[in-house]
Amino acid sequence: MSPVLLVLGVFLLPGPARGSDGSALTAITCFTRGLDLRKEREDVLCPANCPLWQFHVYGNGVYASLSSICGAAIHSGVVTSTGGPVRVQSLPGEENYPAVYAKGIQSQALTRWASSFSLSRVKSVALAAAGQPVSTARPSTGKRPKKPLEKKTGNKDCKADIAFLIDGSFNIGQRRFNLQKNLVGKISVMLGIGAEGPHVGVIQASEHPKIEFYLKNFTTAKDVLFAIKEIGFRGGNSNTGKALKFTAQRFFSMDNGARKGIPKIIIVFLDGWPSDDLEEAGIVAREFGINVFIVSVAKPTPEELGMVQDIGFVDKAVCRNNGFFSYQIPTWFGTTKYVKPLAQKLCTHEQMLCSKTCYNSINIAFLIDGSSSVGDSNFALMLEFISNVAKAFEISDIGSRIAAVQFTYDQRSEFIFSDYTTKEKVLTAIRNIRYMSGGTATGEAISFTNKNVFEPVKNGPNKNFLVILTDGQSYDDVRGPAAAAHKAGITVFSIGIAWAPLDDLKAMASEPRDTHTFFTREFTGLEQIVTDVTRGICRDFLDSNQ
């Protein structure tokens, strides 16, 4: 008779996990940030098996609120990679968050941030209540169970369309060309390719660029690895600029598998130096909303140096000249240790400053009620709300823009979209807004803002949003001006405080009105809706790009 293994297990019914005091734990994702929580102190449940290399953590012990909660929890030793309950305590902002390596996570330094959090352990009395079975049997091996569904869907936290532009010139030669293919294959696997994760394609730069395969051709790591292995060496001049321009203009079409609303990336591999100019190609890529990375491998030969048209080609080709989009590898041999940091860069979507996302591709104008009923202290709370919303977006000369108009019976343009192109200058301008005091004519203020703030940018690339803050009844009609704003393609969020009538708020808001209308009885309640407003803006942006 064959031996029989009898496994006894105890399974508890699913239910909400709870802390030691009986309160429910809030389930969060691997990448929920401290600033995503609303409560001053909250007990949360981190999931298991979060990818350590994708975490963004700033500080040590006390973390900037834009840090991943679970990443910081592992970094501080509160939990391990198996997840678990964590108590999050909100703290004021600090200066000089240090960069410290701990528990497999490298935290990053940050000069200053507006808010922080600390973490502590919290016991859970229902570890199986979240639906996890507790078994009395010892597992037969230490291997994790396979998750075929996740392999098919891919890494959803790294959803991007990525083109690998490989060097196929005579400079690299057949042997190093094969090493390059091996590196690209390993990066592809590390990214977590899948239907709902990153998609990749390959273009070979040589005398003439050749698309080896498109984004739509393969959606599993196994198929991508096979396709990369089959790529043949072409030879000729590198002509990387020609290949980069070609890729930017032709590769990322919907017909070829490009998806809307997610980052588009070209990672360029160079053996030494390019034999043509990259500056124009880099400009074209930025115009198409594509993030260009340059990975240069090995030093140029004396012969190559004589062919270089511009020694500063990297800074002119990359998405941004900030060090993030360039990477130097000394040799094609032993490149395995560079796979993880390169993949991490490609998955750091908040750094993709050339992508068209809700964070860096919108215009937001704030229409601020400066009437007498508001008062100085409440007006300061409105400015704080505006600052907190603005902080969530990447403000730059090619990114998101902020404007502000204050109104009573009259209107005063505090600053328009073209006035400030850095977040620091915008936040300073908001702090310097002075309270007007007077009556309330919201309808005229909407018309003024439409004409003087949005009209000059109506043909621009960014989507336009208007956020109206008011605490009372308008003395004029708001429906007509709001309808004109909607017709002009401006998405309107109306935020009422205290005595603001709900009918007027909904009349001003875009459709669906319920999701574009907010109300709080007290001005202090504005702080609680910052996240809802920013998420609402991003939701509308994504919907418009479907």
Quick check: is 442 in a domain? yes
Assess whether 209 and 313 both reside in one domain: yes
Quick check: is 143 in a domain? no
Assess whether 261 and 398 both reside in one domain: no
What is the pLDDT, as a whole number, of residue 42?
92
Residue 30 belongs to domain spanning:
26-121
Token pair of 34 as six digits: 């401290």
Cβ 174 vs Cβ 206: under 8 Å: no
User: Distance between CA atoms of 224 and 163, rounded to whole angstroms?
Assistant: 12
Assess whether 191 and 117 both reside in one domain: no
User: Distance between CA atoms of 33 and 59, rounded to whole angstroms?
Assistant: 13
Query: Where a domain ends, among 121, 145, 174?
Result: 121
Which residues in 311-326 are b (16+ Cβ under 10 Å) and which e? Answer: eebbbbbbbbeeebbb
Query: Where a domain ends, among 330, 351, 372?
Result: 351
User: Distance between CA atoms of 231 and 448, rounded to whole angstroms?
Assistant: 59
Assess whether 371 and 326 both reside in one domain: no
Assess whether 401 and 325 both reside in one domain: no
∠ CA(242), CA(246), CA(250), 5° rounding?
180
Quick check: is 330 in a domain? yes
What is the pLDDT, as a whole number, of residue 140?
36
Where residue 437 falls (left for φ over 0; alpha for ψ -120 to 50; beta otherwise) is left
Assess whether 67 and 90 both reside in one domain: yes
Instruction: Work out how many domains the chain is built from and give that number.
Output: 3
Assess whether 248 and 332 both reside in one domain: yes
Assess whether 307 and 401 both reside in one domain: no
Assess whether 160 and 204 both reside in one domain: yes
What is the pLDDT, as a whole number, of residue 144?
39
What is the pLDDT, as a whole number, of residue 356?
75
> Digits of tens for pLDDT over the chain (546 positions)?
444 433 333 333 344 555 545 567 888 988 888 888 878 899 999 998 887 776 788 899 999 888 899 999 999 999 988 889 999 999 988 888 888 888 888 888 877 777 899 999 986 544 433 333 333 333 333 333 333 334 568 888 888 999 999 999 988 899 999 999 999 999 999 999 998 899 999 999 999 999 999 999 998 889 999 999 999 999 988 899 999 999 999 999 888 999 877 899 999 998 877 778 888 999 889 878 899 999 999 876 666 566 655 677 888 899 988 889 999 999 999 899 999 999 999 988 778 888 877 888 899 999 999 999 999 999 999 999 999 999 988 888 878 999 999 999 999 999 999 999 899 999 999 999 999 999 999 999 999 999 999 999 988 888 999 999 999 999 999 999 999 999 999 999 999 999 999 999 999 999 999 999 999 999 999 999 999 999 899 888 877 765
- Residue type, position 522, single letter: E
Q: What is the CATH number of the domain that holds 176?
A: 3.40.50.410
Q: What count of other Cβ atoms lies within 10 Å of the Cβ of residue 225?
A: 19
Quick check: is 445 in a domain? yes
Assess whether 342 and 440 both reside in one domain: no
Residue keyed to tokens 């090995």: 298
- Condensed to tens digits (0 to 9), the pLDDT of residues 400-445 reads 999 999 999 999 999 999 999 899 999 999 999 999 999 999 999 9
Q: What is the pTM of this model?
A: 0.51
User: Distance between CA atoms of 149 and 492, rounded to whole angstroms?
Assistant: 40
What is the pLDDT, as a whole number, of residue 539?
86
